[in-house]
Chains A and B, each alone.
Chain A
Amino acid sequence: MAKTYDYLFKLLLIGDSGVGKTCILFRFSEDAFNTTFISTIGIDFKIRTIELDNKKIKLQIWDTAGQERFRTITTAYYRGAMGIMLVYDITQEKSFENIKNWIRNIEENAAADVEKMLLGNKCELNDKRQVSKERGEQLAIEYGIKFMETSAKASINVEEAFLTLASDIKAKTEKRMEANNPPKGGHQLKLTEIRTKDSWLSRCSLL
């Protein structure tokens, strides 16, 4: 059967309960926002296929329950993840402080080379902001990962965030493939890098 995609990337959304993981996913997969919130129990995933550099990439994005109690179940899913979105809520200091715990969790349970990205969600709620954008950036730098402020509700940066993460994974994957198989042609990866830089750290600063 012909594959309808070139790559399948498994991504994971993690972060404290209530930071908006499910909403981010819903925005990305359905381009919609639902105001009837419901907490996530267990695990679920959504699929969206994107195209980067003429490659079809199927993203399988896993959404997990945020409460610590469920980590013994959810961490089992970390192992297969190639990219992880760490999400906090800019209106909740605590969710930001907990990012370091989530990072530790990843280190313990996920593959060492998993791509990570930090998202400060709910950036449309600027008047309730408790975590400045600078602090988010600072933390991201500390961990050597990318950062964006997003709003699932206002549809800000969600698409960009996933594309960024996907392209980084793609770059890494292709590099590894090249290492394994002698390069046959030129690199196609640079384009994505450039695109990425364009989009990250962008829009929310206007709010």
Chain B
Amino acid sequence: MNDSVRYERCQPMLGVLSESQEGIGASESDAPQGNGNELCTHDGVLLKKANAEHIAELNTSGSLSLVEYSLPRRRVYVEWHLNDNIMIADDSQDQGDWALVDTISGRTRTRSECSAFNTKPAELGSNGNVAPARARIVRALLEDLAAVEVQHRGQTLRFLRKSDNGVHCEFFFQHGNADLFVRFMRQQHFIESSEAGRSGGEVYAILNTENQKLKKTFAELDIGEIKASQLPRESWLPNKLAGFLGNIPDYVQPSFQRSPKSRPGSLVHGDRQNSPDNYQFIKLSGSTNSACSSNSQSRGESADKSPADSELENLNAQDEKIVNNLPARQSVQRGQPLNEAQWLEFKTRDGRISDSLRIKELIFRGGIVPSLRAEVWKYLLNYYEWSDSELERIERRSQKTKEYYKMKAQWLAMTTAQEANFSGYRDRKCQIEKDVKRTDRSQQFFAGEDNPNLMLLQGILMTYVMYNFDLGYVQGMSDLLAPILEIQVNEVDAFWCFVGFMDMVFSNFDMDQAGMKTQFAQLRRLLEVANAPLFKYMCSHESDNMYFCFRWLLVWYKRELNNDDVLKLWECLWTRLPCANFHLLVSVAILDQETNVIIDRKYEFTEILKHVNELTGNIDLKRTLETAEAIYLQLKASEALPNDIRHIIGEPLLPLAAGEEREDEENAYSDDGFDELRELTPEEKRRNQELLEEAFERSLFMQHI
């Protein structure tokens, strides 16, 4: 697919980069990890203008670099570092060490904040010391910049913000080598010269991700000549002056998101994809074809009312009827991942996303192409609002960045004495340290000794502790964060995305595990209706407590699937489509596929647990998602579906028949499928609890001799 092509093409570009860079500062890279990679660096660059935070650094000399942080999503930042004493050793947020251009030995660079225009202080000492001078790095995400202007005969370089076209920062190249910087950026297609050059300087438009996408879209639509230079106009590129010089360096850019083919000038030849495929969308409900692949006996008998009253389900007459009425399972097909062209179509001119439901449907159906994940996940995880305009988003991001660093500073500032007197904090910190070392270490992003991404992981988890101290850190959370960080790369973005994810699953980490227990009970009910034979088997073999699904539910199948599938599954589940608690139907679907094995081999509780644990790496995600959806459609189509099941999957409740019991409980449910995970009535909780404990006892007895 596209993405791989794109990726391949990027590599050579980088190579070129390093060759072309001049003298200064090597672009060292810990490439294998894809950490911060200095694409080029120029020394002797005075900071002339910047955000007020940097007032102390104005007119001081430093080095200006383009730094690329790779990994799932490549992004490039412009960074200016003060060249002085700095001794920033080993910063916890370091994403990639920088080998500085300057010769001061032992200096490493911290990176961290990369908010839009941020200027974040860079150096937060790793041991909790907050370096007094906070604003030593001026950093901007290329993506957030609109243009770069070269002035004063190539000695001044000015970056303009995308948001308001104001000056983000301005640099003076003492050695007059700004041209090299600019040339490099052009070569790498981070910038392109704007058409009209006037106003005494040369202006280059920074190619934004969106530009790239736009270009790609045009290419795909087969629209012929579209000049690269027009693109900026259509979006936010403000004033483009013109021309270029070779003097100014800098650009930054989200390069890799852009399609390789969208290099300026080559736009027209962009690849044409087969659009129809990309747009294919299969309606969520009502699929057509043949029977679903699942091997299970989907419409067995089961069904019913409350799990609570009758422990060992006796199917009464009414239940039988429901079960028998469960419609046949239909086949469901997955679709293609949401691609950039589609995504762009949903973006209004000012950057809002026009039809979020439809986007979610597409994502539910087929996931997201890897290059779009970083961006789209921010929406799915409620970090960005669909209705935000580009400007609002930038504002939001900037706010969130400040908020993040404020919280981060809190734990960084914790003194040894404070820590010694604060066991709650110490325990959380200690647990985080233990787990960070053993989270996804076989993933390239976290592999190797002293991988700086581990510090990032730790920093985010620690900051989450400050954000939500009551929940703090619980094992499993690092598993949830790692893939997010790998995609977002940026610490702040990863944090807020993680917050969004935690908002969906925090009840998994309840102190009393109530959230997990509730899910076991719900899963049990769903299985009872969707796969009666297996359910009955489990009841008669003391295995209906569903405890063996603990790991599945706690970290959303993270340990069961390979990393790529985890990303696909999560983005699909984050849409919260097609129904509430779809993640439970995923469990039902997996069990569905194992039904024959479990029953034929006469597994008891321990064997089922073992078997389930050993499914790791052997789950066919596509088939599982298809089955889960098919089960959902089947339940949904069942007219007599009991209200408690309706509630679990978020279907409208049936009017209560006269004399129906359990009215209170049903009404107590909230409508939001996720909320009910933690909003059971006390009575419900108690019943669930009793039920589970009993089931559990039974299973334990069985294994005893």
Contact = CB atoms under 8 A, between A and B. Distances in A.
Interface of A: 7-8, 10, 17-18, 36-39, 41-45, 60, 65-67, 69-70, 72-73, 76-77, 79-80, 94
A37 B513 contact: no
Contacts of B439: 38-39
A45 B555 CA distance: 19
B613 A37 contact: no
A41 B550 contact: yes
Given A38-B438, A65-B475, A43 B609 contact: yes
Contact of B475 (A8, A17, A43, A45): A17
17 contacts: A18-B434, A18-B435, A38-B441, A39-B438, A41-B476, A41-B479, A41-B551, A43-B550, A43-B609, A44-B610, A60-B703, A69-B474, A69-B513, A72-B513, A73-B513, A76-B696, A79-B697
The contact size tier of chain B is 35 or more
A67 B431 contact: yes
A86 B275 CA distance: 61
B547 interface: yes
Nearest to B696: A76
A1 B547 CA distance: 28
Contact of A69 (B511, B555, B700): B511
A38 B613 CA distance: 14
A66 B475 CA distance: 9
B569 interface: no
B472 to A, nearest CB: 9
Sorted from nearest, which 7 A-B pairs have the closest CB atoms? A42-B550, A37-B438, A18-B434, A42-B551, A80-B700, A67-B475, A72-B513
A171 to B, nearest CB: 17
Contact of B550 (A7, A60, A73): A73
B437 interface: yes
A37 B436 CA distance: 10
B498 interface: no
B551 A17 contact: no
Interface of B: 430-431, 434-435, 437-439, 441-442, 474-476, 478-479, 509, 511-513, 516, 547, 550-551, 554-555, 559, 606, 609-610, 613, 693, 696-697, 700-701, 703-705
Contact of A41 (B437, B442, B554): B554
A56 to B, nearest CB: 13
Given A42-B551, A72-B513, A73-B516, A37 B437 contact: yes
Contacts of B434: 17-18, 39
B559 A41 contact: yes
A45 B365 CA distance: 37
Given A18-B434, A41-B476, A69 B509 contact: yes
A67 B478 CA distance: 13
A70 B703 contact: no
Q: Which of B438, B442, B474, B516 has the most CB of A within 10 A?
A: B438
B512 A72 contact: yes
A91 B499 CA distance: 34
Nearest to B472: A69
Contacts of B606: 45, 60
Contacts of B511: 69
B613 A44 contact: yes
Nearest to B447: A36
A39 B547 contact: no
Nearest to A35: B441
Contacts of A7: 705
Contacts of B609: 43-45
A204 B659 CA distance: 71
Contacts of A41: 475-476, 479, 550-551, 554-555, 559
A36 B441 contact: yes
Contacts of B431: 17, 67
A39 B554 CA distance: 13
A45 B439 CA distance: 21
Given A45-B610, A60-B703, A80-B704, 18 more contacts: A10-B703, A17-B475, A36-B442, A38-B439, A39-B434, A41-B476, A41-B550, A41-B555, A42-B550, A45-B606, A65-B475, A66-B475, A69-B511, A69-B513, A73-B547, A73-B550, A77-B700, A79-B697
B491 to A, nearest CB: 22
Contacts of A45: 606, 609-610
A73 B559 CA distance: 18
Contacts of B700: 76-77, 79-80
Contact of A39 (B435, B512, B610, B703): B435
Contacts of A17: 431, 434-435, 475
A167 B474 CA distance: 36
Contact of B430 (A10, A36, A79, A94): A94
A111 B474 CA distance: 28
A133 to B, nearest CB: 23
A70 B475 contact: yes
Nearest to A78: B700
B618 to A, nearest CB: 16
Contact of A80 (B475, B610, B613, B703): B703
Contacts of B479: 41
Contacts of A42: 550-551, 554
B407 to A, nearest CB: 22
A8 B705 CA distance: 7
Nearest to B613: A44
A44 B441 CA distance: 21
Contacts of A37: 437-438, 441
A45 B612 CA distance: 12
A18 B437 CA distance: 10
B540 to A, nearest CB: 19
